[in-house]
A = this chain, B = another copy of it.
């Protein structure tokens, strides 16, 4: 969108509350994305004419930017595809049938001025669609999404390059850690739940940063009969828990109990001040009650 606005000679800037993950930096080859620092960028937000929140349908998702976004006198837009949007902007572009916000953005930009679209604009939109759909396999992947993707490829996007640059950049330590983790994966509730843990010692010995474990939880769901997966990661101050499920099983109900939230089939929680070997059995017992209406855990080899 920033590249599109620049072609229209608009003054624009991309602010994000967090750092861009390393594997996404290739999309930001002109370093257009700025990490929001209140002391530096507060006035940029407060004095803007227009603010657009992408993929954030609730002001709390703006994190450190929330206060300034809400206080700003700018005309405010929201572009999103998540459920349960809160009305906090002047214009809400919400499409619950869209598999990715990038799909909505593409449609908006094409309606505005199709001639301005080029590879530099198409590439991050393609990356957004590809990552949000798990490579065109998650629910909401439909004919329209594939047609949009066809048009993005026609603008010059190389799908092999984007996939490899995003996903094939593991360190050897990450692969070894994934190996250890899968070796120790366990089932419960007659094979309907899979779960596994990563300890601080494992992270340090393999020299893996916590955010490099993204994607581990998806590997654990590929087992026949498994309907839900829990991934526990030990951190210095507590435990990070990731939940995944298939179909109608709502793991966000489980995440809420531990102060977290998210999607029905993909949620997370962060437990502070508790040890891994205390959190794991606690969550398993709760998972039995909430997801499977069962009190007894069956550990299976």
Contacts and interface: CB of A to CB of B under 8 A. Distances in A.
Interface of A: 130, 135-139, 141-147, 149-151, 153-154, 159-160, 163-164, 167-172, 175-176, 178-185, 187, 191, 219-224, 226, 246, 300-301
B175 A300 contact: no
6 contacts: A135-B137, A141-B160, A150-B150, A168-B224, A169-B224, A179-B181
Given A150-B146, A153-B146, A223 B175 contact: yes
A114 to B, nearest CB: 15
B143 A154 contact: yes
A179 B160 CA distance: 26
A175 B136 CA distance: 23
A175 B179 contact: no
Number of chain copies forming the complex: 2
Contacts of A159: 136-137, 141
A147 B154 CA distance: 11
B222 A170 contact: yes
Contacts of A153: 141-143, 146
B223 A172 contact: yes
A217 to B, nearest CB: 13
Contacts of A154: 143
Contacts of A179: 178-185
B172 A187 contact: yes
Contacts of A130: 136-137
A151 B222 CA distance: 28
A170 B141 CA distance: 24
Contact of A185 (B142, B150, B151, B172): B172
A153 to B, nearest CB: 4
Contacts of A142: 153
A215 B145 CA distance: 27
Contact of A144 (B139, B150, B180, B221): B150
A135 B135 contact: yes
Given A138-B160, A147-B147, A179-B182, 7 more contacts: A135-B135, A135-B137, A143-B154, A169-B224, A172-B300, A172-B301, A178-B182
A153 B150 CA distance: 14
B223 A171 contact: yes
A207 to B, nearest CB: 11
